[in-house]
Amino acid sequence: MTHDEIRESIPGYALHALAPEEVRDVEAHLADCAECRRELAVFEEAASTLAAGFEPHEPPAMLRRQVLDAVRPRGRAVRLGRGWATALAAAAAVIIALAGIAVSLEQRLTALATRTASEAQALALLADPASRVVTLSGSAAGSVRFVFDPATGRGALVATGLRDPGPDLVYQLWLVAGAAPRSAGVFRPTSGTPVIVAVGADFPRYQAVAISIEHGPSGATRPSASPVLVGKLGGG
Amino acid sequence: MRGRTVSFLNAENDEALLARVAEADAAAFEVLYARYSRPAYSVALGMLRDVVRAQEVTQDVFLAIWRGAREFDPARGSARTWILSVAHHKSVDAVRRSRRSPTVPLSDTMTGDVDVIEEAQARVDAGHVRRALEVLSVEQRAALVLAYYGGYTQQEIAQRLGVPLGTIKTRMRDGLLRLRNILPARAPETAR
């Protein structure tokens, strides 16, 4: 398509009113046309004022936790050591390993706090007689249990003996309600030690927990394959 | 220490926060979530009319912001425009997925012109946006409302209204340019 033809479709592009083929053409052209990029900025700003037209609604508080958890999935996987000393030593080793990676000190401290909190949560749940335990079963080998307290909304997945899913792949935990599974974090197995993934949710809303294998490091927004393990929660 | 960090970030503008998010700064992302979860969720819920799916889309929107923050270019518009554009884009995609087939012509899914335009226009809740749209010609308003609030493509709109595609493109262009002079870029309803 010519510059003039593309230019005519810039308002439609800003309104997300183009068919996928046209989107590709426009984006290819935008990459090397400064004039069209300037036009697009004008139309995108005008289009975005229409967003204020929708009736305002506050999203549920739980969504915040899901979104924030999803961007820090690795901080939530815990190696269960023999008591706190081992856990702290492991955490210290993780911090040293992270030192070479360009992440902020703030993130490292947050990850450590999240790890400690996840471990404490799992231990408290395992000790609490009100907690319920579900064993996940399916095609993957390993011992995987989900422990949760429906009253407080706290839960944790405890997994041992899972095989390495393969390079660049992760296990992803899902909470299933109807046809809309929610991600509850991703993890990779560690040989010899259990993995814990802390999960906070309104468990009576969900029928099951499931695990699928997805591309790492952050997993998928919805399951791309059938689950390898499933456990019924009975809610929903 | 963490409290001080967050209050420092609260004073940052959206563009500075997005630049931090591009460096995988989760604390900056948290502040952006606090500022934009309501407008983004309102777009998704307004388009999808389904609380569960609107939550899914909102989650997708913020994950797209987390992963795509590096693509944001402050020379090409405000962070606010970019974030609301991501929210609208994901919502439109979800609306199209939920229609039986993306290629079903608009004329087969609705019974009449008035119905389809009114249905899309019913999503406009805020008075100042309604009033701004009323300043446009009927034709410009129909094109913008069907595209932005209805989630229809310009081809579908042209087919439905029985006018050439080029005419719809012109109406969208002229309508948006007029809106730009009427509506403030930062509208009170979503300002937080």
Handedness of CA A67, A70, A74, A78 (dihedral sign): positive
Helical pair B51-68 and B26-48, crossing angle rounded to 10 deg: 140
Give B36-53 pLDDT, tens digit per residue. Answer: 999 999 999 999 989 999
Coil, helix or strand at residue A195: strand
A9 contacts B58? CB cut-off 8 A: no
**A219 interaction partners in chain B (CB closer than 8 Å):** none
For chain B, positions 108-147, list CB contacts with chain A under 8 A. Answer: 123-126, 128-130, 132-133, 144, 147
DSSP for B61-125, written as a single string:
HHHHHHHHGGG--GGGS-HHHHHHHHHHHHHHHHHHHHSS-TTS-HHHH-S-HHHHHHHHHTT--
At A67 the pLDDT is 93
Phi, psi of A45, deg, nearest 5: -65, -45
Which residues in chain B touch residue A60, judged by CB atoms under 8 angstroms apart?
55
B154 and A CB contact within 8 Å: yes
pLDDT single digits (tens) B145-186: 999 999 999 999 999 999 999 999 999 999 999 999 888 755
Q: Mean pLDDT over all residues of chain B?
A: 86
Neighbours of A160 (CB within 10 A): 16
Confidence of residue B112 (pLDDT cuts 50, 70, 90): low
pLDDT above 90 covers what percent of chain B?
A: 61
- pLDDT for B110 beyond 60: no
Residues 68-127 of A with CB under 8 A from B: 68, 70-72, 103-104, 106-107, 109-110
- Is B177 near chain A, with CB under 8 Å? yes
Contact A177 B43 (CB under 8 A): no
pLDDT(B115) > 50: yes
| B38 close to B191: Cβ distance less than 8 angstroms | no
Q: Which of B62, B147, B190 sits opposite A52 (nearest CB)?
A: B190
C-alpha dihedral sign at A165, A166, A171, A172: negative
Query: Which pLDDT score is estimated for A130?
Result: 81
CB B97 within 8 A of CB B105: no
- Report, as an integer, the average pLDDT of B95-122: 66
Query: Which of B25, B129, B185 is facing A45, going by the closest CB pair?
Result: B185
pTM of the complete model: 0.60
One digit per residue, the tens of pLDDT, for chain A of length 236 reads 899 999 999 999 999 999 999 999 999 999 999 999 999 999 999 999 999 999 999 999 999 999 998 887 554 444 444 455 555 555 655 555 555 444 455 555 565 666 666 677 777 787 778 888 899 998 888 889 999 988 888 889 988 889 888 888 999 999 988 777 889 989 988 777 778 888 888 888 888 999 999 988 888 888 887 889 999 987 76
Task: Check if the beta carbon of residue A207 is closer than 8 Å to that of residue A236.
Answer: yes
Residues sharing a CB contact under 8 Å with residue B114, sequence separation 6 or more, in sequence order: none
- The gap between the terminal CA atoms of chain B, to the nearest Å, is 25
> How far is A166 from A161, CA to CA, in rounded Å?
15
Residue in B133, B185, B189, B156 with CA at minimum distance from that of residue B14: B185
Neighboring chain B residues of A18 at a CB cutoff of 8 Å: 153-154
Portion of chain B with pLDDT greater than 70, in percent = 84
- B167 and A CB contact within 8 Å: no
Chain A nearest CA to B122, separation (Å) = 9
- pLDDT value for B152: 95
ipTM of the complex: 0.88
Cβ-Cβ contacts under 8 Å, A221 against chain B: 56, 59-60, 63
Q: CA–CA separation, A127 vs B165, rounded Å?
A: 67
Report the alpha-carbon distance of residue B124 to residue B190 in Å, rounded.
13
For residue B30, give both structure tokens. 């948290």
Q: Closest CB to B126: pick one of A18, A52, A177.
A: A52
